Amino acid sequence: MNVITISREFGSGGRELGKRLAEELGYAYYDSEIITEIAKETNLSEEYISSAVESGWSGFSFHYGRSFHPQFNKIAVDVLTAQTNVLKRLASKGNCVIVGRSAAAILDDLNPLKIFVCADVEYKIQRCRLKNPADAELSDAEMIRNFKRIDNGRKRLHEQLSNTEWGTSKAYHICVNTSGFEIKTIVPSLAQFAKTWFETR
């Protein structure tokens, strides 16, 4: 099974890149269905799962038993267990691209092709304003605060699940900075890279 994981900075276009790459390669693409499946397994709402998992539990805090745990209480552990089950089940179905959801760390044993997508902050602001009408209301400073909060959560979660450092070149097979060009233009070369990588690994 060829599994490609896309880890990404918020606003860098990683989701679009993953979707286009899956199309180009004829692979399945898994995104929001992962959240739906985790919600089914845990009986929690999709909104809750989505916002917790997407932000690496940033801003979430819980009471578990009599102690206060800022992170990784029973709910988080249940979600993470369901997340692992769902990701492994999807990956076993056939060649696929999985965006986010700590798939690079959780599916490490399957030796996936790990891609990281980043971009300069000016580009991410521009991209978010274009894609999300709601973001158009935010100031640059508010958007940058959002980027930092979400990416710090992703980084923290990645580093709790893996012994590699989120966003450093060493933790992935290929990292791409999408600043300043249309994502669709680079997809054919990444697809070619992926094909070669799976043939020769």
Q: What is the Cβ-side half-sphere exposure of residue 185, based on CA atoms within 13 angstroms?
A: 6
Considering beta carbons, is residue 106 or 176 the nearer one to a copy of itself? 176
Nearer to a copy of itself, 61 or 169 (CB): 169
Cβ contact 9:119 at 8 Å? yes
Any contact of residue 199 with a copy of itself (CB under 8 A)? yes
* Length of the chain as a residue count: 201
Q: Are 90 and 35 in contact (CB under 8 A)?
A: no
Residue selected from 120, 155, 156, 162 as contacting a copy of itself according to rule CB under 8 A: 120
Under a CB-based contact definition with an 8 Å cutoff, are residues 98 and 91 in contact? yes
Please give the size of the binding site for a copy of itself, defined by CB under 8 A.
28
DSSP 96: E
Q: Contact between 66 and a copy of itself (CB under 8 A)?
A: no
Residue 64 bridge partners (DSSP): 67
Question: How far apart, in whole angstroms, are the C-alpha atoms of residue 116 and residue 172?
Answer: 6
121-180 residues near a copy of itself, rule: CB under 8 A: 167-170, 172-177, 180
Judged by beta carbon, residue 59 or residue 180, the one nearer a copy of itself is 180
Instruction: Out of 53, 118, 143, 150, point to the residue binding a copy of itself (CB under 8 A).
Output: 118
Positions touching a copy of itself (CB under 8 A) are: 116, 118, 120, 167-170, 172-177, 180-182, 185-186, 188-190, 192-193, 196-197, 199-201
